[in-house]
Structure 1
């Protein structure tokens, strides 16, 4: 038996536990994303693309952005390294006090913000004319504002479980929300008469889903030995460190979310009013009505592979990178970060190409029913294509940023993020009218590509130079395999004529998709692209000597 310590194990070892939770998170994320697609299909069938769904999607951005900033985003990025340090140096009792303090402070802060937000919304609502689109947006935002407390608490509990290398319960949590949402759209909302009543019912059920997420995660946390402590004064120093770390992380980690939020707000602001007769009403050139909804569906589709690749890998990788940094092993941090990037490239490139090529058949299959017509299909497919071109970049950002935060560098992602946010805003207005609503999505994708390139290059100043020859080899092999896959996908799509029935639409997606997967993995095997097989191994990383057994599937 080897006497080699975990930290001295070779980074080339691939049959150990370092990435053991990747398959767990990926598979459960797949289930959640499939349910999310079912949910979006039901929403599209009930409401179509229009002012009502536009208002709902914009209102939902507020709690979703808060979740990504204070929940699974900035707070998690700032909290997890400090929590791992407490586990490593002071033991579980001290770590539980820190976790309790963060949960307490988060709950109090968000409750105050919700009360202030509700009062502001009430005041704004009184100034707006009743029955207008603005009144609907304010009302839906007010209903869903409490959801941000629930989803942020759920995300913070998940961060504690991730630190303990437990991934199953957090990955199952979004499934509950999607199930409640589907029931609301399919079984509850149709019982109401008007579309306004129906959308308010869905908004209320979103809050119920958030409550179920917190309720489901809490027992799992206590089963891991969690000991709750009231207040937060006992962890004052660590809290101050986390709060100070959050300020730059909020911007650095959430640029893509801020960019997509600005996309939605700009689209909603410049969309054609329902009462206008043409896109040039009153001398103003408007976007098509439903642009914000089309952007929402486009974002949902690119988030499907983003969740399975970027979020899943970032979730599993971050605790591992934080432990390497805490033990002073930046060489191991660099090696595991490189392996994560190579895996992302091998899966992200074909995912981007596949979504671009299949955007229209997928949109037709998933959404073209009820109030969602062929014009909505064309509009939404354009958004999916534009956003999906940057899937590999969005995934790469999630991974590289966690490398920065594990190594204690929060300012570099902040500086890069600020520049790319300004770039995205400029590109939004430069591309808005030449490309229509799709220009907003193109701007976000281009900004993400530039951001991930800069972040990947500059992180070497902190952790050492990457082995670029190996990375270039993965890019080249993945590009060749993706090109072959794309040719087969394009050719296969052309073999199936357009049809209005369910079977033709299923075939237009399923056959090209299956052919593309088979061709890509065959080419990957032929070219020796071993990184894309990581999910099929029983484990895929270095052994980890954490005191909590990692999940496995």
Structure 2
């Protein structure tokens, strides 16, 4: 029988997911090399470097991959449908203005961090963090320009090159951590500065590698500000609320990192916090900020491959449906996206919970990264992983609000989540140390998703609840079978320090878990497997009810 044509969402998701998978694998290798180079708690260098990296990285996600992209893509799509030449002019004008604005932000950031570096001469760990942040500030402008080019390519349904662009960052960082820094100097502080310079170099390359694809998609430079004024105003008008709303996950993890860095006690520090009047003890120990980063990187692996891949691919489709006021199709595609992330995200999260310790030991426990460091990071990863399914679904739901032009809804939810996250952080870190940061983020992830879905339903988006419920039941049952089988197997695999044993304690349970999950799903009903594999039979839509 002839195969049913692949749904555009499935094609875009597959391309984006494959590119993201390559980037994430290289990202794990770069983090492995960084952990071996700088360790977790030794000397406080890892805390300083990873906290400094969060600053341009947060702004990059908010301006480049987040709010600006979300406010720009629907406008470009609508403008291209009306007049392609006008759309390309909008792209050129926006890239120019973005370069000027972010260039000014970089200059101000350099001045600020330079001043702070001078002010903290007696605090070497703090001074190191501000010095590294100053070196990495140009990365903000470069990677935001790269992200804007990627958004333009996404609007033209070109996903391949944008999906591979993050590979450039990971290759540059990996080369610096593995090949360059250890050979240039043995001083961890100087090694951290080499890593920072490699990140800036990667930003330059991320812009350059996308220019041929942009040209091939039809872009021609044409700067006509008056002609672009109307669509540009729409982009700017939507930007500010989106700026905060789309980046809530990044804001919460950024807060986690800052709290972990600011409330950590170095070995020679007093027990009580001096800047709080010596009335409260330090809740965390040095290395907490690095533990937050490394555990985040592991749980963000499925989030980047699954959640963001679906969200990236679904956004142009939702924007097209919203532009035609076709809420029925919007609800269908959104429901399909949610079913996909639930089908993939729940077993991924449970699997990470079961394999938290083996995964961290395999990836990071070498060089300066000790067994005690691995134990700290694994404890955090366990609780972060509990809400992977919610983290994956949230970007998909947020894209629906932006496609509908209702950016103020995620903003309100985001504001509540930031407040809740800070409150839970401060509530949990004294009794649970850094694990409390992960627990807080996990709770906020579930609350945020539930709140957003409830508000979306109130806006009369017809989600396919029967299909969603059927997928949820099948997924929970199949995941339970997978968890029982994987836990039993893992119990029989004795932990040993050899790298081959560490690898087997991850690979064998993962493969066994995937096989068990798929087998259980085939028994329960193969609908989601058939949809993902594009094997739906003619006459049977992936949206049909069971």
TM-score calculated relative to the size of structure 1? 0.92
1:132 to 100, 124, 129: 124
> Which string of whole-angstrom CA distances, capped at 9 and with x for unpartnered residues, describes residues 260-281 of structure 1?
0000000001111142376999
How far apart, in 2, do the equivalents of 1:76 and 1:365 lie?
36
Please say if 1:29 is aligned against 2:26: no
1:168 matched to which residue of 2? 160
1:71 to 64, 67, 90: 64
> Which string of whole-angstrom CA distances, capped at 9 and with x for unpartnered residues, describes residues 434-458 of structure 1?
2110111111111110110111121
1:468 matched to which residue of 2? 465
| Structure 1 residues 427 and 344, CA gap change in structure 2 (3 angstroms) | same
Secondary structure, counterpart of 1:485 in structure 2: helix
> Which string of whole-angstrom CA distances, capped at 9 and with x for unpartnered residues, describes residues 116-168 of structure 1?
11111111111112561110001000000000001101110000000000000
1:490-529 residue pairs with structure 2 within 5 A?
490-529=487-526
Contact kept? 2:327, 2:462, Cα under 8 Å: no
> Which string of whole-angstrom CA distances, capped at 9 and with x for unpartnered residues, describes residues 304-328 of structure 1?
0011111111111100110111112
**CA displacement at 1:233 relative to structure 2:** 3.7
1:105-144 residue pairs with structure 2 within 5 A?
105-130=97-122, 132-144=124-136
Q: Number of paired residues?
A: 529
Contact kept? 1:383, 1:441, Cα under 8 Å: yes
1:186 to 150, 170, 178: 178
1:52 matched to which residue of 2? 45
Contact kept? 1:279, 1:287, Cα under 8 Å: no
Please say if 1:398 is aligned against 2:400: no
2:30 matched to which residue of 1? 39
Please say if 1:216 is aligned against 2:209: yes
2:528 matched to which residue of 1? 531
**CA displacement at 1:467 relative to structure 2:** 2.5
**With CA pairs under 8 Å and 6+ residues apart, which has the higher RCO, 1 or 2?**
1
Q: Which moved more, 1:324-333 or 1:226-235?
A: 226-235
How far apart, in 2, do the equivalents of 1:128 and 1:538 lie?
61
Secondary structure, counterpart of 1:145 in structure 2: helix
**CA displacement at 1:173 relative to structure 2:** 0.5
1:142-541 residue pairs with structure 2 within 5 A?
142-190=134-182, 191-230=184-223, 232-276=225-269, 284-537=281-534
Contact kept? 1:346, 1:529, Cα under 8 Å: no
Structure 2 unaligned regions, length at least 5? 540-546
Secondary structure, counterpart of 1:494 in structure 2: helix
How far apart, in 1, do the equivalents of 2:93 and 2:411 lie?
26
Structure 1 vs Structure 2 CA RMSD:
1.9
TM-score calculated relative to the size of structure 2? 0.94
Contact kept? 2:149, 2:210, Cα under 8 Å: yes
1:80-99 residue pairs with structure 2 within 5 A?
80-90=73-83, 92-99=84-91
